Chain A
Amino acid sequence: MQQIINFVIRHKNFLLYLFLMMVSLGFTVQSHSYHQSSFFNSSNWISGSIYQGFDGITSYFGLSQENQKLVDENKRLRKLLFNQETENKDTMSLPGRSIYTILSGKVIKNSYSDPRNYITIDLGSTDSLKADMGVITPKGILGIVENVSRNYATVQSILNEKSNINAKLKNTNHFGSLVWNTKRFNIVQLVDIPRLVPLMVGDTIVTGGMSSIFPENVPIGTIQKFDLDTAKSFYRIDVQLFNDMTNLKNVYIVQNVDRREIMELQEQTINEQ
């Protein structure tokens, strides 16, 4: 017993180091699974309010640019509104019932240089934000809400190696998965498009209808280059994003009202098999 105590005292620094290293490795390994542990992220109260305060100062510098972006978007939406009669109405959706609700928020912390990037926004559970809502900007898709605290939320950016989003070629129904190889912040990869699909550099990629998170046809980017994967049966496509991921401020959060119903139905079907 005496010897054990002596051993512990003699090596107390090493044991302390070992213990703390284990703790941090534990946290890190845990984060490799799908959901991060809910209190170690920047949506918590301390970092949220510090980022919020700092953002109050820095947001003035990009104000004119942001206004221009919003005006451009308004112009586009006005155009859609005024031309509405001439366009085909979707007969499937019932009048008076909208499937998607929209919230608007601001980015208070952005990152794009890590393999796993998270964005913090200034909306939280008090704004009826929940996990797994889609986040888009006026230009295109941004990510999925991952953790929500009372007043803040972290968004898993599409620039995150865990990100996996259903996407398709515009005006077709060939769909694949949008992933990121962590190399460049303006290029993401679309995989699992079969080789029989005719592709052109410059084709537009939009979100697919398979996910219950994003509405269909939210713009993502254009094809920059493509080649076949090692098995020679699927394309591996580099997609140049429409969004400038380094310059984000105003975002919209999209909620699919029917998401829970869809998930329950799918789960029930799987369980019955």
Chain B
Amino acid sequence: MNNSYFINIVRFILLVLVQVLVFNRLNFFGFINPMVYILYLYWYPIKENRAALIGLSFLLGLLVDLFSDTMALHAAATVTIAYFRPTMMRFVFGVNIEFQSFRLSNTTRAQQITFLALLIIVHHAVFFALEIFSFANIVLMLKKIVAIGAASLVLCLLFSSLFSVKKE
């Protein structure tokens, strides 16, 4: 139990640092900065306290905001996906999540990708809606959501397969 707390803290710090020091500087095609810190919510233990997750996500978003001068946009988007995470899990995995033995690693690849994609789409939609904040630029907003969302998804999938825990 203690071990999982420790891993969570290390993951939190590493994801923030990787995000602000590497991925915020990527600027692929001039505007694509993938957001890999969403993986924290993907990896977060399923059975843990929900309020704690919301609080932690706010902190995570705020830390990323602090580094990227975006005020509290990351915090708002991350808090939103933290709140809707259980709903998304029920949608993707069905009643399976009620079982004690449920693990993310036991689900199919398609389910994992769907769950991650849902997290990323909702996060990016909230983030860019707030960042651009005008209907006049709705095309720019959609372009950013699709392009950056795709980049985030690819990178998150790579990371999740790179650091996957094999406990079969």
Question: In the bound complex, do residue A20 and residue B79 qualify as a contact, i.e. CB atoms below 8 Å apart?
Answer: yes
A60 to chain B, nearest CB (A): 16
Other-chain contact of B72, A28, A44, A116 (Cβ < 8 Å): A28
Shortest C-beta distance, B55 to chain A (Å), equals: 7
Q: Which of B19-77 contact A (CB under 8 A)?
A: 20-21, 24-25, 27, 30-33, 50-51, 54-55, 58, 61-62, 65-73, 75-76
Judge if B130 is at the interface, Cβ distance under 8 Å. Answer: yes
B-chain residues with CB within 8 Å of residue A112 when the two chains form the complex: 27, 30
Is A262 in the interface zone, CB < 8 Å from B? no
CB-defined interface of B65-107 with A at 8 Å, one 1/0 digit per residue? 1111111110110011011000000000000000000000000
For residue B83, which residues in chain A have a CB less than 8 angstroms away from its CB? 13-14, 17
Residue contact A42 to B66, C-beta cutoff 8 Å: yes
CA A41 to CA B65, docked complex, whole Å: 8
Interface size on A, residues (CB 8 A): 44
Closest to B26 in A: A113
- B132 within 8 A of partner (CB): yes
On whether the beta carbons of A42 and B31 are closer than 8 Å, the reply is: no
A174 to chain B, nearest CB (A): 29
A105 to B144, CA, bound (A): 33
Are B69 and A111 in contact, CB atoms less than 8 angstroms apart? yes
Q: Which residues of B sit under 8 angstroms from A25, Cβ to Cβ?
A: 72, 76, 130
User: Is B140's beta carbon under 8 Å from chain A?
Assistant: yes
Query: A70 to B162, alpha carbons, bound, how many Å?
Result: 43
- Nearest residue (CB) in A for B27 is A113
Q: Which residues of B contact A50 (CB under 8 A)?
A: 17, 20-21, 67
Work out how many contacts link A and B, with CB atoms closer than 8 A. 104
The complex places the Cα of A37 from the Cα of B17 at a distance, in Å, of 23
Asked if B30 and A185 make an inter-chain contact with CB atoms under 8 angstroms apart, the answer reads yes
User: Are A47 and B67 in contact, CB atoms less than 8 angstroms apart?
Assistant: yes
CB atoms of A115 and B58 under 8 A apart: no
Determine if B72 and A27 form an interchain contact, defined as CB atoms under 8 angstroms apart: yes
Beyond A17-B54, A111-B24, whether A42 also contacts B79 by CB under 8 A is no
Knowing A13-B54, A17-B83, A21-B79, the reply to whether A27 touches B71 (Cβ < 8 A) is yes
Query: How many Å lie between the Cα of A41 and that of B95 in the bound state?
Result: 43
User: At the interface, yes or no: A118 with Cβ under 8 Å from chain B?
Assistant: yes
CA distance A182 to B30 in the complex (A): 12
**Is the CB–CB distance between A40 and B68 below 8 Å?**
no
Most chain B CB atoms below 10 A, which of A17, A46, A47, A54: A17
Report the minimal beta-carbon distance from B166 to chain A, rounded to whole angstroms. 32
Within 8 A of B (CB), among A96-153: 109-118, 120
Is there an interface contact between A24 and B76, defined as CB atoms closer than 8 Å? yes
B131 touching A114 by the CB < 8 A rule? yes
Assembled-state Cα–Cα distance A24/B58 (Å): 9
Determine whether the beta carbon of B65 is less than 8 Å from that of A40.
yes
Q: Which residues of A contact B61 (CB under 8 A)?
A: 24
Which chain A positions have C-beta within 8 A of B32? 113
A246 within 8 A of B: yes
**Per a CB cutoff under 8 Å, which of A12, A28, A42, A117 touches B130?**
A28
Please give, as numbers and ranges, the residues of chain A lying within 8 Å of B27 by CB-CB distance.
Answer: 112-113, 246
Give Cα A28–Cα B130 distance, bound, in whole angstroms.
Answer: 8
Residue A36 interfacial (CB < 8 Å): yes
Are A30 and B54 in contact (CB-based, < 8 A)? Answer: no
Contacts A21-B79, A44-B66, A110-B25 aside, 20 further interface pairs with beta carbons under 8 A come to: A13-B51, A13-B54, A16-B55, A17-B82, A20-B54, A20-B55, A24-B62, A24-B72, A26-B72, A27-B71, A27-B75, A28-B130, A42-B69, A50-B17, A111-B69, A114-B68, A115-B132, A116-B69, A117-B69, A185-B31
Q: Nearest 4 A-B pairs (CB), nearest first? A: A24-B72, A27-B72, A24-B76, A118-B69
